[in-house]
Structures are given as C-alpha cells and as structure tokens.
Structure 1
Amino acid sequence: MDLDLSSMKSVRKFADQFNKQESRLDILINNGGIMKALNTHTSEGFETIIATNYLGHFLLTHLLMDLLKKSAPSRIINVSSSAHFSGTDMMFKDFHIKSGCFGPSNFYLYCRSKAANVMHARQLQELYGNLGVTAYSCHPGTVHTEITRYYTFLNDFSSYILFKTLDCWNPMVQIGKTPKQGSQTPLYCSLQRGLESKAGRYFVECEEYEMSKLCNDDKACKVLWDFTKKELGIE
C-alpha cells in the first residue's frame, strides 16, 4: 500500500485500506522524516517538513487507534531526534509558516517537528495508556540515511557544503550508525518486555533519557494536541 506522509489525503486512504485488510496492529513505528523538502508547502497548505514529520504521523495514529486498542497490549513508537531540544512552542501557532530568507530555517522547522513527535507520544500515553496502548519516543542516533537528499548548492549553500563534505569524508560510517544500528532503540521500545512502566518517556541508546523542558510540560503537550486536531479537522 502506498503512503505519502506529507499528504493527509494519502494518509486517510492508506489507513482506510489498512483497517479493511488487517485484523490487528501490535506495533506502530512512526519513522518517516525529512530535513528539507523540494516544495515548501503541501497541496493542502501545510509546511512540508511539519506535515511529513509530524502531522502525517499524528493523523495516521489517530486513524489506526481503534485497531491498536483492539490489539492491546500494543505500542506506538515515535522516532524523534536530539534536535527536539531546539524546538519551540512556535509550533502551536502556525503549521503553514514559510521557510527560507523571510522565515525560519529548514533545520529549525525540523527541530520543531521532532519536538512535536516527543510531545505527541506523551499525550498518546496520557490518553490511551490505561487502555493498553503505550507510547514512547526515541532518538536513534546519527544514522547515515538519505534524510539530507534535498539539500542543494542553490537552495541552502552552507548546509549543502556541510553535508557534501561529510559524504566525501564519509565519517557517518565511522562515527555514526548504519541503519541497522540506528534501528536498535526503536526496536527496544517496540519489543522490550516490562517497558510499560516507562511509557511516555524518551529513549536514547536503549535507555531512558531526559527530554526537553518544553516536551516535559503537560500543559504544552495538551495545547499542541488540541491545536493539531483542529488543524487536521479531527473531532
């Protein structure tokens, strides 16, 4: 089944097909992510990074929640990043913001989307944990993937030089992680027995780790949750 997380229409179509074809869902890992997009906004008007990294996951989880509850005990894992520490509460105000010369940088938009992932997991745990659906967020580490593929010389000179230099030296292979290595913490959150007592928490290197002050704010998590539902037209 095809799924484009930047398109809420695609997310709804995928969820409808999945719910019709599958009888249970034990683990949902929300892992899609980009650091830059070819187009700054989606056809539905959302800023593309927040749409892909957060809104698509939020809507998908919402649409699959009945199946997750039916399959309980089940787990939801939001793959975030240490970049979430640079996220701010600006995300509560605008999912349509313009990036670039007259707006925030792509990296800032990425950071706020990763903070939203952590806050989403916390609120999921608050609402559904007692129903047997537990939620976790994690940082997989620096992993050598194609997440920077849309950076070019013209659209972001400094980032282009940085990432191309890294590619030439290839330090990711030496000091970073392979995709297999990067998958270990998400898999730990998915499969480790007895982890329910730490549900809602943030994990790094298969251990609980302190999250940002913003993400640890119960009120802020609730505000973001309500704002997101309103933006997505969820009752």
Structure 2
Amino acid sequence: MTEEVREPEPVEPDPVAPGHEEPGPTEWQSRSAPPVGVGPWVEEHPTPVPDDPRFDPELIAAGDTRNVVDAYRYWTREAIVADIDARRHPFHVAIENFAHDANIGTVVRTANAFAAAAVHIVGRRRWNRRGAMVTDRYQHLEHHDSVADLISWARAHDLAVVAVDNTPGSVPLETADLPRECVLLFGQEGPGVSADAQERADLTVSIAQFGSTRSINAGVAAGIAMHAWIRQHADLGTAW
C-alpha cells in the first residue's frame, strides 16, 4: 500500500490540452538557480554551425538551458524524441489517477530517464505536470478511462501486467523475474493499486521495507520498480 500525501495538491491543466507548450529555454528553472546548459553556438564553439537538421535555429542563436542531457543540446524536440524512440525499452508504466494523484509528474520524469516505452494514466486525464520538469514533452503518454481498458490494451499488445503493491500474496521485487515486455502498474497514494487492477494483473510484486512506515511514496516505488527492470533487462552500455 502507498502512503497518502498530506500537502495541498495543485491542479494543473491537461497535458494534451492546446496552449500549454514547454516553457522557453530558461523558464523551467528557478529564478535564483545558477544558469545551466549552453549559451549561443557562437559563444560556445569556434566553428560554424554544422549542417545538421536535428539542430534548432532558435536554440543555436539563443542558447539551450533545457532539462536535457548534453548530447541533445541545440536539438529540436522532435529530433530528441525520434532518437529516444530508436532505443526505447519495451516496458511501459501505468499509474491509476482516480483522485488526481500528485506523484504522476515524478513517475513521468523517471520513466523518461529510463526510456520507458510509454506512461499510461488510468482514470482522470488531468494530472500535476510540475514534477515532470518538462520531460513529458519527450515521453509518450497514453490515457485509459479504466483499469479494464488498460488491461485490454496490454493484452492486445502481448504485454504482461505487473502490479506493484505490498499486499498479501505479492512476490518480492528483489527476487522476482520481471517480464521483459510488460506494464508496471502503480496505484494511488493511500489506497494503492485498486482491487480490480490486482485481480486482473498477471503478477503482483512488493518492495522490501525495514522501517516503521507501512508504505513508501508512489513516485519512489515507481522509480525502484523501473530500476529493477533496468538491472534485469537493459543494455547498460547504451546509458549516458
């Protein structure tokens, strides 16, 4: 089960709604934060700009302080997505969102870091984008109205559904053999993975805990489970 978040939950616009594009090169940073990234090309390189269609002329001229790895500096968003698409991992992440969960942004950011195939939001379409730190622009997102819809989608794509929750009968994640092609399914803060989802899942795994709390944060649990998949299946030679 996962612990309820007590802090107030901001309501963010639907990530797929028009008019909510990525902030400019420096807008995502705190005003007090030191500058990161690179300046205009002419200030950073003594050579002319390469004839590379992946480069964004506006970023070449103004500099690039987006939340991306250095290998993607000056690239267009479309070029970055295409490059990640060529090497995405065959695991998906799903999280239930029946009460506007505050952890989805963190889950999206972590899924992007591990090059997950997609993040699936089950239930409410709207979610708090703040924790994603703009990574949702580089991560494929899908929406399903219900757990049944998600399960049907997974079956149609030959993906095993692995629920992650500390419930009776679960298999320790630390010893479980995770399917290579799967959907890692997480519940909401408080109730955890819904009974419907647990009943329909092919496997339920739990994360070993040793302290007093009955649960850990859903965003943290998602990161642990995704990294467990990475340790079992990823080619670490392709990591940055």
Q: Which has the higher helix share?
A: 1
In our comparison, the structure showing a higher alpha carbon Rg is: 2
Q: Same fold (TM over 0.5)?
A: no
Q: What TM-score results when the alignment is normalised by the length of structure 2?
A: 0.23
Q: Structure 1 length as normaliser, TM-score?
A: 0.23
